Amino acid sequence: MKKISESNKLLLLSLAVGILTGLAAVVLLELIEVIQAGLRPLLSGDGFSWWLLALPGIGMLLALLLVRYVIKDNIGHGVTKVLQAMSRNESQIKPHNTFSSVITSALTIGFGGSVGAEAPIVYTGAAIGSNIGRLGGLSYRSVTTLVGCGAAGAIAGIFKAPLAGMLFTMEILFFNISLGSLMPLLLSTMSATVVAYLFRGLGPSFACALEPLSMANIPFYVVLGLFCGFVSLYFTRSTLALEDRFAKMRSPWLRWLLCSLCLGLLIFLFPPLYGEGYTSVTSLLTAGSAALPGAGSPLSALLDSNWGVVLFFALVMLLKVVSMTMTNAGGGVGGTFGPTLVVGALAGFVFVRMADLCFTGRTFPEQNFVLVGMAGLMAGVMQAPMTAIFLIAEITGGYDLLLPLIIVATCSFGCTRIWERYSIYTKRIAQNGELLTHDNDQAVLTLLHTRNLIRDKYPRLSLNASLGEIMPIVSESTAAVFPVLDENGKFQGLIDMDDLRKHMFRTDEYSSVFVYNLMTQPLAYIAEDEPVGSVLDKFEKTDAWRLPVLDEEGNYLGFISKSRILMAYRDELKAISVED
């Protein structure tokens, strides 16, 4: 491998990443099915099974124990974790992530946790790419490409959707795509899809019974897109708000108990909330009204009336967000990708049922609206319209509805962007200033790390030293500024060489003037882990040329100069702008 050029090595490794990620996706799906098959006797029979109340909590507990005592690392929110690794950890993902998310998410979903398997497998694929890239001795940029290849292969493998896998990486993960990155992405998605075909068959992930496109329904697709946009806002903001609320509970065991009880109660009232929800989606896409998924609920009487059906599934649509958040907060491991598809299908169904009731002289193709609703929610929640359009077309074979898919995804995306700038994956890290965006200037600032810009070449002066005591230090230094520290190493101030020069030749002051008489306070301080964008703001507001850097305890670490930031910015911009 040492004799192969990095570009060729990248191509070979991207193929290997795709194969391994495809296998990981197959293993995850098989594990979920094996667990579900083993539990099926407990759930068989007519009506409601009381095991539905307990099984999701058991799966959450098993995942919690594994994470807390075996893995000993936070592995939730897989897509967000990949974005954070790319922006602040040089695309390094721990080796255990190549398998830990697969095991814990299989337990969570297999036992009925109301989450999706897609985010965990994306995290797994990204970890495979990261670790293979580092083992292969690739540069940071090539390792980042392999991280994207792993994520793309994960989507391609779990959905058998190669184009959607590549678009997912380009829209959500990669802030800067070059021609040199396209071939590795194509190789990884192609190989992962081939592996999925070999083990999971050639058919689409979701069977559909669609009707031909009618141009008379185009206005209704536009309205559905706007409806999906508002549901997307509810999905994103409710999820983040509930996560914040549960995060305030310090005891993980109390949080597990509360979430298990609440999730069990929700499933008792609304059985479609059990598990990923793809069974309900398949029913809506194939049989439509003939096989409404809701039997066994104490509220099933609602299904006997037309508006009762709308109310029941509108509640399922809204509460899927709550059940998903509780599953993750209670210790389960899963993602928002799958629930987004489920909520989108329900949004399409609720909308078309309301249209049927309001426009009694018309008949709308329910399955068509269910399908495009999935694209609408994905475009709004993930803010990735291209991924939404082609993923839904690939996993359902619904290319005949490409125009409605484009309309609904575009309207939902545009509606969501009016009130929400960031997706559910990027909102939190954007608030921390760690988000890599498609804006090269902002991306460069995110890639730069404050701690790497610190320079400690400035001689330290003691707070109580006299002018005569510091003169030998000052005379031998070329520094323009000197930090002043106390006996504990705490930063007290600084002395500028221009101010010191006025006293240097006044020998009569050598014993009577002390450092604390000469020092001044800096115009601002910089924290060790402060985002570079915030540091630049301080330079602009103070018009300073250099500022001191302190740690959380106030210990002096060095200075950062404006010229140092500008040089690092130029070098990083040059690196990410190079086309392979």
pLDDT of residue 291: 57
**Phi/psi at 352 (5° precision):** -70, -30
Position 556 in a domain: yes
Reported as a pLDDT band with limits 50, 70 and 90, residue 418 is very high
Reported as a pLDDT band with limits 50, 70 and 90, residue 99 is very high
Of 172, 95, 107, residue with least CA distance to 134 = 95
pLDDT tens for residues 382-411?
988 999 999 999 888 878 889 999 999 999
pLDDT of residue 433: 57
Same domain, 133 and 195: yes
Of 456, 482, 480, 465, residue with least CA distance to 551 = 456
- Mean pLDDT, the chain, rounded, equals 85
Reported as a pLDDT band with limits 50, 70 and 90, residue 370 is very high
Whole-model pTM over 0.85 = no
DSSP string spanning 58-70? HHHHHHHHHIIII
DSSP state of 459: P
pLDDT of residue 435: 52
Give me the CATH number covering residue 403: 1.10.3080.10
pLDDT of residue 416: 94
Same domain, 399 and 307: yes
pLDDT tens for residues 373-389?
999 999 999 988 999 99
Three-state DSSP at 483 gives strand
pLDDT of residue 262: 93
pLDDT tens for residues 33-92?
999 888 888 876 555 577 778 899 999 999 999 999 999 888 887 788 888 777 666 778
**Residue 542 belongs to what domain range?**
445-577
Reported as a pLDDT band with limits 50, 70 and 90, residue 479 is confident
pLDDT of residue 579: 44
Reported as a pLDDT band with limits 50, 70 and 90, residue 580 is very low
Instruction: Reply yes or no on whether the pLDDT at 235 is more than 90.
Output: yes
pLDDT of residue 554: 78
Give me the CATH number covering residue 511: 3.10.580.10
Position 1 in a domain: no
Instruction: Reply yes or no on whether the pLDDT at 485 is more than 90.
Output: no
Same domain, 457 and 539: yes
Instruction: Reply yes or no on whether the pLDDT at 437 is more than 50.
Output: no
Same domain, 170 and 242: no
pLDDT of residue 509: 77
CA of 253: how far to CAs of 13, 74, 110, 267, 321, in Å?
A: 42, 16, 21, 21, 22
Position 438 in a domain: no
Residue 444, beta-bridge partner list: none
Position 352 in a domain: yes
Position 209 in a domain: no
CA of 379: how far to CAs of 174, 321, 323, 340, 528, in Å?
A: 17, 16, 21, 10, 37
pLDDT tens for residues 9-19?
889 999 999 99
Same domain, 62 and 176: yes
Same domain, 463 and 426: no
Same domain, 163 and 264: no
Of 81, 343, 359, 93, residue with least CA distance to 217 = 359
